[in-house]
């Protein structure tokens, strides 16, 4: 587990043994079972997540129906907005698969960043990358049809097709499961 995290970090900064030990001393690694809800609507949290292995999703419940907004897989980070705003969460986070992740909180991050300033610089770079990616994803979603969204998913996140239940994929694409089945059939006929 730790090697996966250190390999990811090494793409941004090099770590000394002291820095690696500081990370390990935080006890941030968690193994979580499929179906576990990490955060519920209305719950307050200080936790941020980094997926080492597995898949988690964010979703809202609107009129008793789950509306999936994102999937996070290997090497994806998630800090729920409620952590920043210090308000109750507006959505849920749950594990789609058995998942290994790191769980940190703002207190830990302040401590590590004060001892090792290069972590702060790395976090800023990661935040900028994440913000840019989310903006691109949002714009693509708003400007494309359900079929285009599905084709983009196949092209950019093909692993999700096999890993995620169809009803969650359909919700993520903004359509009903029956519509996703018809869309898949239509695409298969075109080939």
Tokens encoding 180: 């996703």
DSSP state of 52: E
Which helix (DSSP H) or strand (DSSP E) does residue 67 occupy? Answer: strand 65-72
User: What average pLDDT does the structure give for the chain?
Assistant: 92
Which phi and psi angles does 177 have, rounded to 5°? -55, -40
The count of domains in the chain is: 1
Facing residues of 115 across strands? none
Confidence of residue 72 (pLDDT cuts 50, 70, 90): very high
> pLDDT value at position 169?
96
Does a structural domain hold residue 87?
Answer: yes
Does a structural domain hold residue 137?
Answer: no
Quick: pLDDT tens for 43-71: 999 999 999 999 999 999 999 999 999 99
The residue written with tokens 């698969």 in the block is: 97
Does a structural domain hold residue 178?
Answer: no
Q: Closest by alpha carbon to 175, among 185, 166, 186, 162?
A: 166
Does a structural domain hold residue 122?
Answer: no
For residue 56, give its domain range.
Answer: 2-115
Facing residues of 47 across strands? 105
Q: How far apart are the first and last CA of the chain?
A: 41
Confidence of residue 162 (pLDDT cuts 50, 70, 90): very high
Does a structural domain hold residue 134?
Answer: no
Distance from C-alpha of 168 to C-alpha of 124, rounded to nearest angstrom = 31
DSSP state of 76: -
CATH code (residue 21): 2.60.120.10
Quick: pLDDT tens for 39-48: 999 999 999 9
Does a structural domain hold residue 75?
Answer: yes
Tokens encoding 92: 């849920």
Does a structural domain hold residue 32?
Answer: yes
Radius of gyration of the chain (CA): 18
Whether the Cβ atoms of residue 126 and residue 67 lie closer than 8 Å to each other:
no
Residue 191 has pLDDT above 80, yes or no: no
Tell whether pTM > 0.95. no
């Amino acid at each position: 587990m730790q090697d996966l995290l250190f390999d990811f970090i090494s793409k941004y900064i090099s770590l000394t043994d002291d820095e690696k030990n500081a990370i390990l001393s935080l006890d941030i690694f968690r193994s979580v079972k499929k179906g576990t809800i990490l955060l519920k609507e209305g719950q307050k949290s200080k936790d941020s997540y980094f997926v080492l292995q597995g898949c988690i999703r964010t979703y809202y419940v609107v009129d008793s129906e789950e509306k999936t907004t994102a999937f996070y897989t290997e090497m994806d980070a998630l800090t729920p907005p409620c952590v920043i705003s210090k308000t109750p969460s507006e959505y849920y986070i749950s594990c789609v698969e058995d998942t290994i992740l790191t769980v940190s909180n703002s207190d830990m991050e302040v401590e590590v960043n004060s001892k090792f300033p290069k972590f702060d610089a790395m976090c800023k770079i990661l935040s900028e990358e994440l913000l840019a990616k989310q903006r691109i994803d949002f714009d693509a979603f708003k400007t494309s049809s359900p079929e285009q969204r599905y084709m983009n998913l196949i092209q950019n996140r093909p692993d999700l097709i096999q890993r995620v239940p169809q009803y969650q994929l359909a919700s993520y694409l903004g359509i009903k499961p029956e519509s996703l089945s018809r869309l898949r059939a239509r695409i298969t006929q075109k080939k």
